[in-house]
Amino acid sequence: MTGEAGSAPSPPEPARPAVGEGAAAGGPPAGGRSWWQSTAKWLLGALLVIDIGVLLFVLSFANVTADGPAKRSLRHSLAILTEVDAFLDDHFETLRQEAAQTQEETLTLPDFPVQVSFSPEEIRAADREEFRALLLTRAADRIHEEGVFILQEERGGEVSFFSTQGLIRTGMDLLRPTPHRVLTLLTISLASLAGVLALGLALTSRGYGRLWGLGLSVLLAAAPFLIVAVALRFAFRVAADGLDDYLAREFLTLGQELTWAPIRNGIIFSVGGAVIFAAGTALARWRDSRSRF
């Protein structure tokens, strides 16, 4: 009996899990993972979400303050602040007559809040709409280069910072090269930090979990940003419709136009994050299904 017991076969070993399981989905491998790796993964993911959210905010302001969009916004702002159409109603025909008679090389518009000059030939060759566009372009170029203080000096008198015009002029002063350069440097810094965080997230993840984690982080940052941008545009529209103040209403309309930059960025990042997240999830499931056979 003792010999038979000694020769009995040992019980079979439990089946080992497939190599791809767990790791393919980004979870811990069969041998387990140290707690610091799991903690680092979630911490890096959270930091990446915050960084991308701030990046979207700064990037949108950098887009708005770029040379082309900034000058368009300044032209629109000046058209509202200076009441350029009423100004031309009073002065355009007189200015054309003066241009036809003068021997001077340049003419300066009287009583316009920004001092800009034109040659007599430019005034004679332009109709009212063409001259309006030229006037706003040159005035916007001056403010873009020198700052909104020239508008305040030409208008005379002090404008309270907390008044509607004061807040508008403060916003206009941000549409200049120096703020744009600062925002561009911040955008580059935040994008570089996002790259470092994404690399760290990839190193602390496994298999297709790298794609899954990266896509989820981008999506968690971009989707709320997009929702806020759309809500802000809608709020501007509702507020503008309910106002009688011409100045405030027109600038709320301008605000609606400027929200296209954050909306566009939010859409791009949201779609990109969703695609990466879906790809990681699909590939992980495909890997797991293959490992069962």
Kindly give the interhelix angle for 246-258 and 209-241, rounded to the nearest 10 degrees: 160
- Nearest-CA neighbor of 186 among 57, 50, 73, 49? 57
CA–CA dist 288, 237 (Å, integer): 50
DSSP line for 245-290: -HHHHHHHHHHHHHTHHHHHHHHHHHHHHHHHHHHHHHHHHHHHHH
The residue that leads in pLDDT, 16 or 112, is: 112
Is the pLDDT confidence value at 284 over 80? no
Sequence-separated (6 or more) residues with CB below 8 Å from residue 86: none
Structure tokens at 14: 């439990």
Rounded Cα gap, residues 65 and 182, in angstroms:
10
Distance CA 174, CA 158 (A): 19
Q: Return the SS3 of 73.
A: helix
Q: Where are the domains of the chain?
A: 35-64+186-293, 66-175
pTM confidence score: 0.78
Max avg pLDDT among 152-161, 189-198, 244-253 = 189-198
Please, what is the end-to-end C-alpha distance for the chain in angstroms? 42
Q: What percent of the chain has pLDDT over 70?
A: 82
pLDDT value, residue 247: 74
Q: pLDDT per residue over 186-245, tens digit each?
A: 999 999 999 999 999 988 888 777 888 899 999 999 999 999 999 999 999 988 887 777
Residue 222 · residue 266 · CB < 8 Å = yes
Check residue 34 and give its pLDDT.
76
- Tell whether the torsion through CA atoms of 42, 44, 47 and 48 is positive or negative: negative
Cα gap 222→290, rounded to integer Å: 33
CB atoms closer than 10 angstroms to residue 103: 5
Q: Which two tokens stand for residue 186?
A: 């911040």
